[in-house]
Amino acid sequence: MTTGSLTKIMAILVIIIATLYVYHRIPFKFDYMGYTEKIWAHRVNSLEKLNYTQKHYAGIELDVVYDLKTNTFDVNHPPAKSIGLTLDTYFSSLNEKNNIGIWLDFKNLNEENEQESLIKLKELIKKHELIPQYMIVESQSPEYLFGFKQEGFKTSFYLPSSLNRLSNEELIAKVLEIKTKIKNYPTNAISTNSVDYSIIAKHFPNEKKYLWNIDGLYNTRIFKNFFLNRKVLKDPKVEVLLVRVTRGIGNR
């Protein structure tokens, strides 16, 4: 191989690597083509990340923990240590408040705080002039979401994870359990990882779905994820797909 040929190969490799690096960093991916309105940013739990994502995504997802003693929502994903970021402060940093979807993953909704947390969220919505219909409130305990639904919030039942790893017998039992909860405590949608998409599409075809695929771009499932994302996004029952923000800004 001549020196000139080697130089050309090296130049091509550098261009390929640089292109992949840029593609990794930008919010747009070919998977999302035609469905960018469904693409929301996952785990936007800091103001730094919020400032970036609200410019580039149709919606944002964040984790909240309600503190009954202080009557505040803490933006945090346990067991991570709290940084003292309240939902009040977070909402104050929204630029175009009603042009972006907001998904609240309510980590500790329970019987004890159901009423107080709803009152507080309504107070924050009014203060910051937000619209409940643009906001998803998600919980693993759908029995406590009724009040939020009545007040106009979109509600979602966070399904048990890793259904794809269950045996046939276990899956049948779990699906029956989920169906019972959906019947007894109806929400606007169900939510889960897209790895379970084929299962929930089969067993819950009529339910609206909020999903997430937070794999990094470079992994052994890169091509599988591409086709899965396309399949998910084409489904009219799937209204949101959360994706990983790859800029490394304000991650926590």
pLDDT of residue 117: 99
Cβ atoms within 10 Å of 221's Cβ, excluding its own? 12
pLDDT of residue 250: 67
Is the residue at 146 inside a domain?
yes
Is the residue at 89 inside a domain?
yes
Is the residue at 229 inside a domain?
yes
pLDDT of residue 220: 59
pLDDT of residue 17: 56
Summarised one tens digit per residue, pLDDT across range 133-146 is 999 999 999 999 99
Q: What total of structural domains would you count in the chain?
A: 1
pLDDT of residue 248: 66
Is the residue at 175 inside a domain?
yes
pLDDT of residue 10: 67
- Burial of residue 103 (number of CB atoms within 10 Å: 0-12, 13-18, 19+): buried
Is the residue at 217 inside a domain?
yes
Residue range of the domain that includes 191 = 28-243
Is the residue at 15 inside a domain?
no
Q: Which residues of the chain have pLDDT under 70?
A: 1, 4, 6, 9-27, 216-221, 247-248, 250, 252
Is the residue at 5 inside a domain?
no
Give the separation between CA 74 and CA 86, rounded to whole angstroms: 5
Q: For the domain that residue 59 is a member of, what is the CATH number?
A: 3.20.20.190
Is the residue at 3 inside a domain?
no
pLDDT of residue 1: 64
Q: How many helices (H) and strands (E) does the chain have?
A: 8, 9
Give the separation between CA 158 and CA 164, rounded to whole angstroms: 16
Q: CA-CA-CA-CA torsion for 11, 16, 18, 21, nearest 10 degrees?
A: -160
Secondary structure element (H or E) that encloses residue 5, with its range: helix 3-25
